[in-house]
Amino acid sequence: MPVEGFVAIGAGLAVGLAGIGAGLGEQGIGAAAVGAMAEDPDFFGRGLLMTVIPETIVIFGLVISFLLMFM
């Protein structure tokens, strides 16, 4: 059986599912952060930080895909 094909599918799933999960998590956080910044502009730094945190999950998915492809 061609193992390389299964590895490529696994790497694609790692990045794709991580991206979908981060997008779903960020939609609520982004809306809340924009609402909080509309009320208090001093919240900008914390709101920006809270919207960036879910995107780190995609970086982990990308690292896993690189590990699958090259190890």
pLDDT digits (tens, 9 = 90+) for 44-69: 999 999 888 888 999 999 999 999 88
Q: Report the distance separating Cα 14 and Cα 5, nearest Å.
A: 14
pLDDT for residue 3: 87
What pLDDT is attached to residue 71? Answer: 84
Q: How far apart are CA 39 and CA 42, in angstroms?
A: 9
Query: Is the predicted pLDDT of residue 17 greater than 80, yes or no?
Result: yes
Q: CB count, 10 Å around CB of 4?
A: 9
Angstrom distance (rounded) from CA 19 to CA 41: 29
At residue 45, the pLDDT reads: 92
Count other C-beta atoms under 10 Å from residue 70's C-beta: 8
pLDDT-based confidence at residue 4 (cuts at 50, 70, 90)? confident
Q: What is the pLDDT of residue 64?
A: 92
